[in-house]
Structure 1
Amino acid sequence: MSFNTLFLDRDGVINRKIDDGYVLKTEDIQIMPGIKDFLAMANNMFLQIVVVTNQRCVGRKMLKEEELLSIHKDINDRTGNFINDFFFCPHLDEDQCDCRKPKDGLFLKAAENYAVDFSRSWMIGDSVSDLIPAKNLGIKTIYIGAGINSCADYTLASTNDICTVFLPG
């Protein structure tokens, strides 16, 4: 089984989301259950693994871009260095940019840098705004969370269950 690109949201998928807050330093990072094993498996199934993440904490001047890059490096180190790239939107909602999810700018930026075939790619996110651009681009989607997400091809209660979607059978 071979796929093209695995797109991942960051907070809530790779690392724990901080309620009413942001990951502002490496000490704030808590890797989600099952993610390290899933990324090791995905590395053998996908040509590239990229993160697409909204990080308005940069636009709010709570975090410098260099600090965000350091956090991303630490996340990659802690999960086995399988992530090829992190694409992030630093903008606020009112900036009206093209990259803030649910717009598709981060996905298109990834496609400028990698040979992305959206029809053979997957997106894993924990909010509808993660999945809307993926669905619009023809990417298969996995929603991590409770309830129903109309944009999801698969809904899983936990990151621990992601591997099951890709196992044969």
Structure 2
Amino acid sequence: MPVIKLQSSDGEIFETDIETAKCSSTIKTLLEDCPVEAESDTLIPLPNVNSTILKKILIWAKHHREDDAEENEEEADKSVAMQITPWDAEFLTMDQGTLFELILAANYLDIPNLLNAACMTVANMIKGRTAEEIRQTFHITNDFSPSEEDLQTVEAEVPQEDEATVYGDI
């Protein structure tokens, strides 16, 4: 199977088979536009992806290489109902900084299933938490003044009018 070389932003070179690299729509399009000869030492620079993240992406891509590409794109479009597989959940267990870098790289390389799974992981970190818990999880400083916080509390307590009361029972 033909091999290509991917160069990370910090200069490290990774060799991988073309089918694994094609998990990235960006690389797949590049290879279609500029066909690779079997004996070629094709080097694709990836200036927005460092070696740590590229290594993780290649691990993920090798695991998902056999996935049907068309089916994956359809699944990625249905991200509302998407479930993270146990393998992906384990793979995406990493520190927040690395996870966010992985999200940026998956977006840059156009790998929708990895992007969706990583974003779902972040969404699960937020789901069901209070604003203060979210701030603690993501190390966000509270920039609301006490009066702004009181206003937020009052707005949260005001019940929303039900459509039936606004428009009557039609």
TM-score (norm 2): 0.31
Q: TM-score, normalised by structure 1?
A: 0.31
- Higher share of residues assigned strand: 1
Q: Could you say which structure has the larger radius of gyration?
A: 2
Higher helix share: 2
